[in-house]
Amino acid sequence: MDRRTFLFVSALGALSVPHVAGAQQVGKVYRVGYLATGSSSSSRYVIEAFREGLRERGWVEGQNIVIDYRFAEGRYDRLPDLAAELVRLKVDVIVAAPSPPAAAAKNATGTIPIVMIGAGADPVGQGLVASLARPGGNVTGLSYSVGQEIFGKQLALLTEAVPKIRRVAVLWNPAISGQAPAIEDVKVAARALGVQLQVLEARGPDDFDRAFAAMAKERVGALLVLVDSMFSFHGTRLAGLAAKNRLPAAYTNRLLVEVGGLMSYGPSFSDLWRRAAGYVDRILKGAKPADLPVEQPTRYELVLNLKTAKALGLTFPSSLLGRADEVIQ
């Protein structure tokens, strides 16, 4: 074989080898750890969105990627041990949703890249990243919202759905860092709307009955449930208690509307989880979390439940129905 023939054959061989960007290695199976506060069932639709995002980028479970799932089942105290398990498995990247798992993962490792999903409105203040533009360290990902004003928006939509209410209960989990500013934002919105608030705490499901008893005693007209994975995990029970007490209830997570809640407004979680796959893709191809800016939601969705409204004797105004992204019959 002369030199020209050798070069031609070598070029053909190079063309037949799949192009692999960055540090990705041909034939290597990468391991991704997934850490969440909820359960596999309460996370089903966002996990599928995450998988779709991976498939769109050429990552297929069982072929070139393995995902080790760890769920706290609504118990935040389990997160440190679960994060430590993933570190011992020597995963290539940890996906953590939302802020508490991200914090647990960061406490467990300073070297394994971490992609947070749905972190609080202020991941800098929570100590997860140095800044949104330049996260530094080993954590990056997507925040929950562009600011605390989303919670005031939720209250405004609730009062639009139930225009005669004058007293609203707000249920929140004080154990979640970064939520105190959300309460202040809701208070500001309440003053502008002429609504009185009854702020109630629930650190776990054992506090639900006490909270609803307090709502009944104060004769509140509606309920606003702030975002928390523990609430989502126990969403069916929460929605049931609201129905039992005939309370129109607004949430952030659409899953609670699917199980009987009246309405929800918040970022599109499926969109956030699909976009998170892009971070995993870039990191597995050699990008450093420190150099990947934290992104914020670009899509928000309003979901209404007509069946629940009818059971409560309510009729959604046409202005609200016209803005809904989905109406559950």
10 belongs to a structural domain: no
Q: Which pLDDT score is estimated for 25?
A: 56
On whether both 157 and 200 belong to a single domain, the answer is yes
On whether both 261 and 294 belong to a single domain, the answer is no
On whether both 212 and 319 belong to a single domain, the answer is yes
65 belongs to a structural domain: yes
The domain spanning residue 305 has which CATH number? 3.40.50.2300
Residues making up the chain, counted from first to last: 329
Helix (H) or strand (E) holding 299: none
On whether both 168 and 308 belong to a single domain, the answer is yes
Q: Which pLDDT score is estimated for 300?
A: 92
Burial class (CB in 10 A: 0-12, 13-18, 19+), 15: exposed
Q: Which pLDDT score is estimated for 1?
A: 46
Q: Which pLDDT score is estimated for 39?
A: 85
Structural domains in the chain (count): 2
Query: What is the arrangement of strands in the sheet containing 139-143, beginning at the earlier edge strand?
Result: 65-71, 30-36, 93-97, 114-119, 139-143
On whether both 321 and 203 belong to a single domain, the answer is yes
Return averaged pLDDT per consecutive 10 residues of the chain, 329 residues in all.
42 38 65 93 89 97 96 92 98 95 96 92 86 95 77 93 94 80 87 95 94 96 90 91 96 91 94 97 97 94 97 95 94
Sign of CA dihedral 235, 238, 244, 247: negative
135 belongs to a structural domain: yes
On whether both 179 and 108 belong to a single domain, the answer is no
Q: What angle do CA 230, 139, 126 make, to 5 degrees?
A: 55
DSSP 107-175: HH-SSS-EEEEEE-S-TTTTTS-S-SS---TTEEEEES-SSTHHHHHHHHHHHHHSTT--EEEEEE-TT
Domain that holds residue 255: 149-266+301-328
On whether both 181 and 128 belong to a single domain, the answer is no
On whether both 125 and 226 belong to a single domain, the answer is no
On whether both 279 and 244 belong to a single domain, the answer is no
Q: Which pLDDT score is estimated for 249?
A: 97
